[in-house]
Amino acid sequence: MSSWDPPKLTFLITGCSSGFGLALTRLALAHSHTVIATARNPSALPPALVAEVESHASNGSRFLALDVDSPTRAAELVEQLECRDDCVAIDVLVNNAGWSVHGPAESFRDDEVRRQFETVFFGPYRLARAVVPHMRRRRRGMIVNIGSGAGVDGRESMAVYAAAKAALDGLMRVMAKELAPFNIRSLTVQLGGFDTNFTRALTRTAEPFPDDYAGSMVGKVLGSIEGANFQPDGDHRKAARAIYEVIVGEGVGRGKEAERVLPLGRDMGKMMDRVADATKHSMDTFRDVCDNVYLEKK
């Protein structure tokens, strides 16, 4: 275990009904950690799934309702856990809940953009704001955001989702610096394509696509990732184990406690290389311009 961790951790994980949230929940439970697993409506989940979490109730694990879009529920839930119920000390917050809306960037309605940002940016930010004071007081903790390649270099049709993911990444780059003196770690997991239900839940903007986009890359990219059309390369269970091990400082995460970004997926690796090459190209092209727009000393 890494030096900041107590022997057993308490995880607060959002979006635990499937995919990465469920896989991380099962891994943490299998290693005897406490998991506060959340979902928008736990009563609608398969009883076997709820029973799986509740079979570990002796260490405080449970399923709780959490709609991350609610402007008040995050603070209420953390207050309930930390200060009222069992004085639960949240060691690791995993912001995993999400969905995506797609279409040409010019076509999104304001309400669609706001809903996307509520789930992908404001919800995780509210949870981080709620847990940080308690982590800061204890001088330990970790905030994990399950990000996406869309926020690094999004494809056509992903503009609003990419913007929300990039906003959260930008927030955490600064927040990580501010929280480091208090022994609070952050980790942004940049995911490529994985075998989860995420693409089956994506939606299109309600606005009709302008005729000029007929046959364009917007429609082609969107069509390739909708439902059964999506052919992912990544195994989410392998990726979830890597995330878990980086969180606890074991296995592939041993000695990497200071790392703030975890790219996962062969497609994500290629994307990160392309972005690095593009950044280098920009600096090679404009270095002289960049360095020669300074104020002249009088």
Separation CA 137–CA 190 (nearest Å): 29
**Nearest residue to 218 via CA among 100, 105, 117, 98:** 105
C-alpha Rg value of the chain to the nearest Å: 20
Task: Provide the annotated active-site residues.
Answer: 161
Q: Which two tokens stand for residue 202?
A: 């994506």
What DSSP designation does 57 have?
G
Tokens coding 245: 């091990």
**What burial class does residue 295 get, using C-beta atoms within 10 Å of its C-beta: 0-12 exposed, 13-18 middle, 19+ buried?**
exposed
Tell me which H or E stretch contains 78.
Answer: helix 73-79
In whole angstroms, how far apart are CA 260 and each of 142, 189, 229, 247? 11, 8, 33, 11
Question: In this structure, are strands 34-39 and 203-204 parallel, antiparallel, or unpaired?
Answer: unpaired
Q: Work out the angle between the directed axes of helices 159-179 and 123-138 (0-180°, nearest 10).
A: 10
Residues 6+ apart with CB under 8 A from 107: 205, 207, 208, 209, 210
Beta strands in the chain (DSSP E): 10-13, 34-39, 62-65, 92-95, 101-102, 141-146, 184-191, 203-204, 261-264
